[in-house]
A and B are shown apart, each in its own frame.
Chain A
Amino acid sequence: MAALPSPTPSPLRQGLLAAWPVALGYFPVAVAFGMAGAGAGLAPLAVQLLSLLVFAGASQFAFLGLLAEGASPWLAAGVALLLNLRHAFYGPALRPYLKGHPLLAFFLTDEVFAVALKFLPGLPQAARAGFFLGLGLGAYLAWNLGTSLGAFGAARLKGLPGAGEALSFALPALFLLLALPHLRNPVALGAGLLAFALHLLGQTAWGLVLAGVLGFLWRRP
């Protein structure tokens, strides 16, 4: 009997496969987030709800940090929303590839955006939405499973030797590979360096917003 040809993976599965480096980076951070939430005095269910509904790591950490410092929950939510302003630039950058599927915007984190920008242009139009859904779901599952582990189970996880340091490097390594094609683009490099300068001054979120604005306004020479 002749062997069946191996089927091409569905776009959804391709997206899930593309998500694993993101998931690898998300999972430990999400565990840390869950543990931090418990440490800040939030009920595990509330911590989990943040990850389920907000799905934006930096702003979730900011929300917890402000609560832990005694800020009102409304102030904490306002500051977290400011941190998420940069997300407003992600949709327009992906819209040419995902027209007609705006609800997929729920999955638009920094990392999902960057991986999508790398892969979507090379995919046929019909496969793009499925791919993006798989990518977003993979990242979302990793973030929420990690949060669960941290929030519900985790005093035992503290102090595993060596693992934390290696895992903290997963996202920079991933971002390097995603940024490589753009490092010779003077607009991208200039905006990135400006954001970095603000980051060194402690204004990371505003630096990222500014990079998005500059990229939006400038034209490549």
Chain B
Amino acid sequence: MTPILVLALGTFLLRYLPWLGERGPSPDQAGPALVVALFLVSAFGPPPSWLWAKTLAALWVVFLTWRLSRHLGLSVLLGMAAYALF
């Protein structure tokens, strides 16, 4: 139980302490860089395989739905359906 509590406290402090400081370097591009990185690592698991083609096709469906509807949830749902069907 104690390691779980330490993990919980450590995780909270990693999130909390950098937020608390009022000064320090500007985060500038950290947010966009992390979002792009999160997209790439969540979409394409190693090693490269035919699954990447299936993922790309489903991502294309997500992108097209977004362009046509501008609806976040609908785009995600149709992408999920496409991924299951491809």
Contact = CB atoms under 8 A, between A and B. Distances in A.
Contacts of B42: 171-172, 175
Q: Classify the secondary structure of B's interface with A.
A: helix
A166 B80 contact: yes
Nearest to A107: B15
Q: Classify the secondary structure of A's interface with B.
A: helix
Which range contains the number of A residues in contact with the other chain? 35 or more
B18 A191 contact: no
B38 A110 contact: yes
B12 to A, nearest CB: 6
B4 A77 contact: yes
Interface string A60-77: 000100000000011011
Interface stretch (A8-16, A123-131, A143-151, A204-212): A204-212
Contact of A94 (B1, B19, B26, B72): B19
B5 to A, nearest CB: 7
B30 interface: yes
A85 interface: yes
B14 interface: yes
A89 B30 contact: yes
6 smallest CB-CB distances across A and B, nearest first, come from A91-B19, A215-B33, A192-B36, A53-B8, A195-B37, A191-B33
Interface of A: 18, 20-21, 24-25, 46, 49-50, 53-56, 59, 63, 73-74, 76-77, 80-81, 84-95, 98, 102-103, 105-106, 108, 110, 113-114, 117, 162, 165-183, 185, 187-189, 191-193, 195-196, 199-202, 204, 207-208, 211-220
